Structure 1
Amino acid sequence: MASNHHPGSESGSDADELEELECEVQEMAEKIREYRATLPEKLKNTLPSIIAAQRPVFADGLEPGTSGAPNLGQIASDKDALGDQTFQKIHLLKDKMSRNVAAVPIVMKRLKECTSNIDKLDSQNTLIHPVFKRKWTS
């Protein structure tokens, strides 16, 4: 799309662009409000079924263990009942979950740092090079 630059029309195109951006911001705000209203209910409805689908199938009479000191005899019988490969997968999954939970504070700290850096950049009101601006296709 070629743009014609006339000395007097530049402020008009800026106003049009500003109006278009404000309209897009309003649309985004509306989507965010809609997501905030509907997403918790969707999560509440779908999360239990997803978790239930991923829950391992235990042999007859076996139930998931409680937190506390593990019973070594129970672990051996679980391993025999589930098979080595399934037991290893469960063990690997537990290890990954533990590492992910341990990494949450680090990720949150990094997120806060990035957010504060973005806020600092926003408050400086510096000129952003056009290369880094989003190109609208509509």
Structure 2
Amino acid sequence: MSMFSIFGVSGSAISSQAQRLNVVASNLANADAVAGPDGQSYKARQVVFQTVPLNDPGSAGVKVQTITESQLPGKRVHNPGHPNADAEGYVTHSNVNPVEEMVNMISASRSYQNNVEVMNTAKTLLMKTLQMGQ
């Protein structure tokens, strides 16, 4: 693996983690959402990663393969006076767990930061190599 392929590996990871952070932000924004007129509530989304080969033999990056929706049922709260209550008086909330999403956000943020640090270290090493040649 060449020194330049490090930028490809870390760059793909940074891009993927940025998408993961966007999905987490969307989940957190809809954590308190209730079912709409169609009776469907917001469903938490999760990012699924996939390994992809890069141009340099022996190196691989990562990309977002798909974004899936959780099939867990939303929390049902008995509130007959709510405008979105069903015939039984229940309001269906989203199935987003804010605690899990915060953990997911911290994990994605740290992965993003680690890959930025890898790129900065590789850049510093390349600059030192160039300085040695002067």
* Greater C-alpha Rg: 1
Same fold (TM > 0.5): no
TM-score by length of 2: 0.28
Which of structures 1 and 2 has the larger relative contact order (alpha carbons within 8 angstroms, sep 6+)?
2
Q: Which has the higher strand share?
A: 2
TM-score normalised per structure 1: 0.28
